[in-house]
Amino acid sequence: MMLIRCVENFFGIKEMVVMECIMCLRALCVNQKNKGGYGLQSIVEKLGPLRSKYALKFIIKPNSLLNRVLKAKYENDLWNVANRASWSSTWKLIQKGSEHLLPIMRWRIVNGIKVDTFKDTWILDKTIKKWPTFVTVLDPEFFHVSVFLSEGAWNREKLKQCFGLSLIELIVSIPIHSDQDEDEIECIQKLSGRTITNLAYEKNFENIGIDESYRWRKKLKLKPKIDILWWRLSKNSIPTYAFLLYRRLAESGGCPRGCMELEDTEHVIFKCYLVKKFIKLLADWHFIIPDFDSLAGCYQVLQNLASSNPFLGNLLCSVVFYCWNSRNKFVHGGKDDTGYTIATRSIIQTVSSFDTCLIRNNWDANKLFKLSKSS
């Protein structure tokens, strides 16, 4: 409920609409920021990666009292899911962690007896069955890596029966640790300085592409309240009247300011006559923002400004933010802010985003003379 109240106060919308918006964005919020989300930590998504460290302890500390008891009861195979109904709570927790541990681990080859040729990760960072250019061999003779080893070295003749020349050269470059007793599992990203939990959690988002808007938003140094609005704009998930009409929460999708146009994301950013008016006012003050006529064009302009002139890019984002806030006040019975008010606030907001010394240089303002640094 606290989250709902915060969103209500910020966006000026009612509880039912807030719930619609939250449900729409819930899946996105838990993604990493560079993957299109907003970096919120989901307890459900984090549960498996948090348990992966217990699965790793089961592997690297086999002689502890707990692990010896578990081995005696459930054997030493973490990924054997037989007889699931008879598992204890401790073994279920470790098993759940092993599911998230497996994608970030790789087998260190000693004799190859434990390593499945096609299902386990022992070449680079992916199992052979997931390689798009490889056809799985159905002959059971080759199901374990031990078949391809001979006297502590790779057997090229056996390798040629399953793999091509390029893959054979890659396999031959894998070291064989003959000084150890049996195959061991190790982390793929060794010496990365990151925890197993962090690596396992990040693996969940591996197949999600990089969000281009995050890069220019970060370079523009937007304040959090402005950044979250533009993040939602990039997801087309702010409660415009077109958004509410689509979800049958409004009777009309027109602009409440009388533009006689559909109020969608494009209208909020640059089509509304008031936004155009404010941008023109800034141009009269010699803050000239490049023209654009589409949403993609707007993002391209912001991306270019992030590298060439981040102040102007930040200023454009601030104008849209204060214009949106003014629109919310107008919709709920208030009065629209004037153009001078919005333009002035936008400039002040932009200056404060880049001037890191603004607060530090004035920290003793309105304090007693004896408490100031100059005394």
Q: For the residues 122-136, what does the mean pLDDT come to? A: 73
Assess whether 122 and 225 both reside in one domain.
Answer: no
Contact at 8 Å (CB) between 238 and 25? no
Assess whether 220 and 177 both reside in one domain.
Answer: no
Assess whether 231 and 140 both reside in one domain.
Answer: no
Q: Is residue 366 part of a domain?
A: no
Q: Within 10 A of 86 (CB to CB), how many other CB atoms are there?
A: 9
pLDDT of residue 302: 93
Q: Is residue 247 part of a domain?
A: yes
Assess whether 177 and 215 both reside in one domain.
Answer: no
Q: Is residue 102 part of a domain?
A: no
Q: For the residues 121-150, what does the mean pLDDT come to? A: 74
Assess whether 146 and 266 both reside in one domain.
Answer: no
Q: pLDDT digits over 58-68, tens only?
A: 888 888 888 88
Range of the domain at 252: 211-354
pLDDT of residue 358: 47
Q: Within 10 A of 231 (CB to CB), how many other CB atoms are there?
A: 23
| pLDDT for residue 84 is more than 70 | no
Count of domains in the chain? 2
Q: Is residue 32 part of a domain?
A: no
pLDDT of residue 209: 67
Assess whether 272 and 336 both reside in one domain.
Answer: yes
3-state secondary structure of 150: strand
For 106, list phi and psi in degrees, rounded to 5: -140, 150
Q: Taking Cα atoms as reference points, which of 49, 39, 146 lies closest to residue 93?
A: 49
Q: Is residue 319 part of a domain?
A: yes
191: buried, middle or exposed (CB in 10 Å: 19+, 13-18, 0-12)? exposed
Find the range with the poorest average confidence among 228-242, 254-268, 288-302, 361-375. 361-375
| pLDDT for residue 131 is more than 80 | no
Contact at 8 Å (CB) between 221 and 354? yes
Assess whether 176 and 268 both reside in one domain.
Answer: no
For the packed helices 212-219 and 310-331, what is the interaxial angle rounded to 10 degrees?
100
Residue with tokens 């040729």: 117
Q: For the residues 349-369, what does the mean pLDDT come to? A: 61
Q: Is residue 119 part of a domain?
A: yes
Q: For the residues 29-55, what does the mean pLDDT come to? A: 75
Type and span of the H or E element at 344: helix 339-354
Assess whether 116 and 219 both reside in one domain.
Answer: no
Between 124 and 342, the more confident residue is 342
- At residue 330, what is the residue type? F
Assess whether 154 and 116 both reside in one domain.
Answer: yes
- At residue 319, what is the residue type? V
326: buried, middle or exposed (CB in 10 Å: 19+, 13-18, 0-12)? buried
pLDDT classification of 30: cutoffs 50, 70, 90:
low
Contact at 8 Å (CB) between 364 and 332? no
Find the range with the poorest average confidence among 169-173, 186-190, 209-213, 254-258. 209-213
- In angstroms, the Cα distances linking 190 to 104, 105, 185, 196, 273 are 10, 10, 12, 10, 56
Assess whether 303 and 225 both reside in one domain.
Answer: yes
Assess whether 237 and 334 both reside in one domain.
Answer: yes
Q: Is residue 195 part of a domain?
A: no
Q: Is residue 191 part of a domain?
A: no
Find the range with the poorest average confidence among 73-77, 164-168, 252-256, 276-280. 73-77
Assess whether 249 and 317 both reside in one domain.
Answer: yes
pLDDT of residue 83: 59
Report the percent of the chain where pLDDT is more than 90. Answer: 18
pLDDT of residue 80: 63
Residue with tokens 């602009």: 255
